[in-house]
Amino acid sequence: MAIEVRVPTILRTYTGGEKAVSAQGGTLAQLIDDVEASNPGVKERLVDESGLRRFINVYVNDEDVRFTGGLETAVADGDTVVILPAVAGG
């Protein structure tokens, strides 16, 4: 088992066009490091010194990680992680 990470169109240049990649880790930060190891460059687009970039939203099993511990949010095998750019509604 592994954790599925869904990648938005705009970041697929780093994943060879793949919509989703498989990765491992106990926290979101570790998971992103694992994704970076096989898809170099992607991490820099997701995080900066202060944490997740402003226009990036990450959801673990549909819940926004900014309300569950940010990069320290726990992840486990079988979880689905979705990365999306922030868009307007209304």
Q: What are phi and psi of 8, to 5 degrees?
A: -70, 155
Residues 6+ apart with CB under 8 A from 43: 32, 33, 35, 36
Q: What minimum distance in Å lies between the beta carbon of 56 and another protein?
A: 7
Q: What minimum distance in Å lies between the beta carbon of 31 and another protein?
A: 17
* Binds another protein by CB under 8 A, chosen from 59, 70, 71, 79: 59
Nearer to another protein, 13 or 22 (CB): 13
What single-letter amino acid sits at 59?
A: Y
Residues 6+ apart with CB under 8 A from 59: 65, 81, 82, 84
Beta bridge partners of 83: 58
Is residue 43 a contact residue for another protein (CB under 8 A)?
no
Is residue 36 a contact residue for another protein (CB under 8 A)?
no
Is residue 77 a contact residue for another protein (CB under 8 A)?
no
The residue ranges that bind another protein (CB under 8 A) are 8-10, 45, 53-57, 59, 62-64, 66-68, 82, 84-90
